[in-house]
Structure 1
Amino acid sequence: MAGTYEQDGDAAGTFLGHPKGLFILFFVEMWERFSYYGMRGLLIFYLTKHFLFDREFALGILGAYVTLVYITPIIGGALADRYMGARRAVLLGGILLVIGHAGMAIEGSPVQQGEQADPLILNIFYLSLAFIIAGVGFLKANISTMVGFLYPKTDGRRDSAFTIFYMGINLGAFLGSLLCGFLGETFGWAYGFGAAGVGMLLGLVVFVLGRPQLRGAGEAPDEVKLTSPAFMGLSPQILIYLGTALMILIAWQLVRYQDTVNILLAITGGVALTFIIAKSVIQLDPHERDRIFAAILLILFQIMFWALFEQASSSLNLFTDEHVNRDLFGWEVPASMFQSLNAGFIILFAPVLAALWVRLSNKGRDPSAGMKFGLGLVQLGLGYVVLAWGAELDNGLVPMIFIVLIYLLHTTGELCLSPVGLSAMTRLSVPSMVGLMMGTWFLGSAGGNALSAIIAQEAAADGAKGGYVSAYWDMGYYAVGFGLFVMVISPLITKLMHLDTLKDDNVGDDLVGQRGVGEPQAGGMHPETRLAE
């Protein structure tokens, strides 16, 4: 296994009760999310106000882009598992992201009504999105995997660690949405996108300088195999780089075609799930197989969540711009800055839930992963119910408080689902499949984003307030109902996890000797330290 674990007894290797490597990954992901969400919050307005694309086409580009962003991690995860290791994959992803965000800062002159966009600027824009898509593919799944490598599977700190890590994600999203949104809508798109690029560059620097604190986590499973000639005299490492260049060229074209991307997603999802199920049935023992099946159920459940949650960057963003009273003490708040509310609330509540999960775990009363998923979906639905109700109170602009409330409820729902899902993927997987499973988790997110774009196109078809409100009522009812269903069947999911036989991965003396890590093996944890999911 390409990873290592820190133990509590190693005082030099921990900070605030967690491995120091967690905080390196925290800051890397913080800056990566600063760049990603800072850019994404501006994207729909850039498309409709700078390029003057019609609403349906602009939402289609946004949907294709975000869907591809969540498809590519399954490729990056599989390559890291088999060849690169998570650390190299994250490094390559960071470099690609810096290039992509730099390209986004080249905006050209605004398109005038009745004119066409400059083909060169438009192609630079599409190519920049392609670099970002490829970069996220290598970085996103593998940096989460590296967090999992820092802890034994039965370590009671795991959900807490992923929640802390998730707070880093959202600290970056909060700062990025505020700063990039303000700069982009106030001074020009290039300033907003440029700030996002600087953020990603800082994340890359932190990762390179912080490598010693990772203590060997995420190194290549076989360094010799990675660099030795394999095909036509080329090593797997060189072939991966060439394949990445090809992937960027393909994404450069695909990002323009929403329907084609959705077909690709369906095929990729079907192949991935078929492969995982077949490998589980053929190679794994019954308990390991059942844990993979439990993970697949969680992956499928999240599709509904993200389909409705990700309206934030599309229909909710447009609704806020067109139908919400954004006056704050005489200043009209740029609509893209409201994207920071979700991240800001996570910063406030993530430490609370991190401590709560550990406290309940120590008492053996931690809600199961399925129960947490159900709670997340119910809160997501309630957010839409509150917004739709508030929007019908007045025929004029919607009071700002209702946008604040929907993001608050969506945040508490997200904290019950997303960090728990990230933790479950690394916890329920076998070592040889952990990157693949994490990639498939993000593939499920891609499915949610693809559905989200279709829903947004219907909700925002004509920009009328009534169209949005009707769609939000429907979203609310569906999410609450599905969440209650997941809560009812959560005991079945827990049974499939076989927590009573869950063991830590054996890092092995050979790994310690090869890397000079000097860490003890991860086994031998007491049963009472296990998460009682």
Structure 2
Amino acid sequence: MTTNADQATNLDQATLLGHPVGLFVLFATEMWERFSYYGMRALLILYLTKHWLYSDGDAGMIYGTYAALVYAVPVLGGMIADRFLGLRKAIVFGAALLVVGHLGMAFEGPPATVVDGVVIRSQGHEQIFYLALSFIVVGVGFLKANISTIVGALYGENDPRRDGGFTIFYMGINLGAFVATLLCAYLGETYGWRYGFGLAGIGMVAGLATFLLGARFLQGVGLPPEPMALSEKRLGLALESRIYIASILFVLLIWSAIQNTQEMGVLLTAFTAVVTSYMIWFSLTQCTKQERDRMLTMLFLMFVSVVFWALFEQAGSSLTLFTDRNVDRGSFFTAGMFQSLNPFFIIVLAPLFAVLWLFLGRRSREPSVAFKFGLAILQVGLGFFALVIGAGFAGPDGQVAVIWLILMYLLHTTGELCLSPVGLSMVTKLSVQRVAAMMMGVWFLSSAFAAYVGGWIAGLMAIDGS
């Protein structure tokens, strides 16, 4: 007779293509989550400038503030999952918030109009838009870091399948991003914003359903660390309920932050300056010479990464506006669809780069982390230079041939493949053990700061279409 325990064991040990079945549940969940995220991202800057009639500068700052929060909030979501909710509950809650946020984006309302030089917007629908963005920020915070953690937990520490599992998982991310930027961008720009945003929302519903239906294959991973503690009541509410209520209140805080981009920038800049100053002081006064050199090298490389990501993030803002106004796209392709070039090139080139680094490593010729960061900066710069060359060949209508845009995305992607995979590894290798966890937080903070700076740069790169 087969017992429930036997069935559970069989589910835990089930494999597909040599990997735990749970990996493919997470693959599909993350694919749909990234589908919804990148589908919305492909439309956001165009929605801000065309529907709400924000200036390029204001739209860039809204986009940058939103992106900064998307990078920063997962740090809090990860802490809450580790200490209280467990990974599974955090992912389900985050996915539910994302469904609300993405479907909320579909309530576009009437387009803004200009009366006597003043932009008139529907205040109610505009606030729904900001609230929807806030739900997405907090939803990503609960889901993004925690789902990656579950992937790692499916394998033993020395399991030789581990790297292959993460490769499959990250392929899901890029597959979702590639398909979403084609479909959502086309629907949104061709038939109406609500259709593109609505499709992104449907994608997130599919992701939530996939995780709920496939959770039984996760080998008992991701359960709350102290299940009984979640039921402890204060003021008549269990701890789990208080966490959910506090998270909704945090959504309202984010709602305000996205609308106050300047204040958000001052706060983020000041906090970054304080943290950086402390780390420099710590390196100079509390470390041995060898530790000091490692810490200062890491801080410098973090600065380089800020520059890279601030420029790279133009893909979702100023470069999409440039594509919309100044690139000869033909009659079918919309501006947002060209964001699909980045995930497409990653899918094609990531295996080649992995083989290249392995080939060079076996011959003791693999470039250092610093050299890879330098290559990344060089390539992102060359990508923009390609557009400068293309602009020199523009016709009388100011339209640039699409091949220059494709070349730019190719160079930006090869730069990303030089820098992105080694970033977290660099932090773990160079950090002094006493502050290793803090330095990981500083790394994520640098990504958030880079996203905000990217929004500021987008404003400086405002294009009038001429």
Q: CA deviation at 1:93?
A: 1.0
Q: Give the structure 2 partner of residue 340 of structure 1.
A: 340
Give the match for residue 455 of structure 2. Answer: 453
Give per-residue Cα distances to partners, 1:219-278, cap 9 Å, x unaligned.
33333334434x656554233212211111111111112112223323554677799999
Equivalence for 1:170:
174
Q: 1:103-118 maps to which residues of 2 (within 5 A)?
A: 103-114=104-115, 116-118=120-122
Counterpart mapping for 1:438-517 below 5 A: 440-460=442-462, 462-463=463-464
What is residue 126 of structure 1 aligned with on the other side?
130
Match of 2:240, as an amino acid? Q
1:23 corresponds to 2:24 = yes
- Shift, 1:416, TM fit: 2.3
Change (3 A) 1:290 1:208: farther
Deviations 1:466-517 (A, max 9, x none): xxxxxxxxxxxxxxxxxxxxxxxxxxxxxxxxxxxxxxxxxxxxxxxxxxxx
In structure 1, the residue matched to 2:263 is 260
Identity score, percent: 50
- Cα distance in 1 between the residues matched to 2:82 and 2:296: 20
Q: Does 1:140 align with 2:144?
A: yes
Structure 1 pair 79/295, CA: closer, same or farther in 2 (3 Å)? Answer: farther
1:168-226 deviations in Å (ceiling 9; x for gaps)? 21111111111000000110000000000011111111222222333233333333334
Structure 1 alignment gaps of length 5 or more: 1-9, 466-533
How has the CA–CA distance of structure 1 residues 374 and 168 changed in structure 2, closer, same or farther, with 3 Å as cutoff?
farther
> Is 1:181 aligned with 2:185?
yes
Q: Which residue type is aligned with residue 22 of structure 2?
A: G
**1:376 corresponds to:** 376
Are residues 289 and 76 of structure 1, via their aligned partners in 2, closer, same or farther at CA, if it must alter by over 3 Å? farther
Given candidates 223, 226, 236, the residue that maps to 1:222 is: 226
- From 314, 317, 322, give the equivalent of 2:320: 317
Tell me how far apart the structure 2 counterparts of residues 441 and 237 of structure 1 sit (CA, whole Å): 29
**Residue deviations 1:362-419, cap 9 Å, x none?**
7776555444333323222221122212222335311100000010111122122223
Matched, 1:251 2:254: yes
- Count of equivalent residues: 450
Give, in angstroms, the shift of residue 34 of structure 1. 0.8
Change over 3 Å in CA distance of 1:393–1:366 after alignment to 2:
same
Distance 1:357 1:370, change over 3 A: same
Rounded to whole Å, the distance in 2 between the matches of 1:356 and 1:27 is 28
Q: Is the Cα–Cα contact under 8 Å of residues 163 and 419 in structure 1 kept in the other structure?
A: no
| Cα separation, 1, equivalents of 2:183 and 2:433 | 39
8 A Cα contact 2:30 2:207, kept in partner: yes
Structure 2 distance, partners of 1:276, 1:83, is 29
Equivalent of 2:329 in 326, 329, 336: 326
- How far apart are 1:463 and its partner, in Å? 2.4
Residue type of the partner of 1:389?
A: I
Q: Please give the TM-score of this superposition, normalised by the length of structure 2.
A: 0.84
Check the 8 A contact 1:34/1:199 in 2, yes or no: yes
Amino acid at match of 2:460: E
Once residues 27 and 127 of structure 2 are traced to their aligned partners in structure 1, the CA distance between those partners, rounded to angstroms, is: 34
Q: Residue 244 of structure 2 aligns with which residue?
A: 241
Residue 392 (structure 2) aligns with: 392
Check conservation: 2:12, 2:218, Cα contact below 8 A.
Answer: no
Three-state SS of the structure 1 residue aligned to 2:394 is coil
CA distance in structure 2 between the aligned counterparts of 1:289 and 1:171, rounded to whole angstroms = 41
Cα distance, 1:404–1:152 mapped onto 2, change above 3 Å? same
Q: CA deviation at 1:332?
A: 4.3
The answer to whether the aligner puts 1:149 opposite 2:153 as a matched pair is yes
CA distance in 2, matches of 1:169, 1:432: 33
Q: Quick one: structure 1 residues 379 and 149, their matched pair in 2 at CA, closer, same or farther if it must change by over 3 Å?
A: farther
**Residues 155/448 of structure 1: CA separation in 2 closer, same or farther (3 Å cut):** farther
In structure 1, give the amino acid aligned to 2:99.
Answer: V
Rounded to whole Å, the distance in 2 between the matches of 1:450 and 1:314 is 12
Q: Does the 8 Å contact 1:67/1:261 carry over to 2?
A: no
**So what's the TM-score if we normalise by structure 1?**
0.74
Mark the runs of 5 or more structure 2 residues left unpaired by the alignment.
1-10
Q: For 1:271-310, list aligned pairs within 5 A.
A: 299-310=302-313
Hey, what's the Cα distance between the residues in 2 that align with 1:423 and 1:13?
31
Asked if structure 2 preserves the Cα contact closer than 8 Å seen for 1:309 and 1:410, the reply is yes
Give the conservation status (yes or no) of the 8 Å contact 1:65–1:129. Answer: yes
What do the CA deviations read for 1:27-52 (whole angstroms, capped 9, x no partner)?
22211111111111111111111122
Q: How far, CA to CA, are the matches of 1:30 and 1:163 in structure 2?
A: 13
Structure 2 partner of 1:491: none
Distance 1:402 1:32, change over 3 A: same
Query: Amino acid of the residue matched to residue 381 of structure 1?
Result: G
Q: Which amino acid aligns with 2:91?
A: V
**Cα offset, 1:141, TM superposition:** 2.0
Q: 1:11 to 1:92 in 2, by over 3 A?
A: closer
Q: Is the 8 A contact 1:159 1:354 kept in 2?
A: no
Provide the C-alpha distance between the structure 2 equivalents of 1:437 and 1:157, rounded to a whole number of angstroms: 28
Greater mean alpha carbon deviation, residues 147-156 or residues 309-318? 147-156
Structure-2 residue corresponding to 1:207: 211
- 2:329 and 2:355 map into 1 onto residues whose CA distance is 35
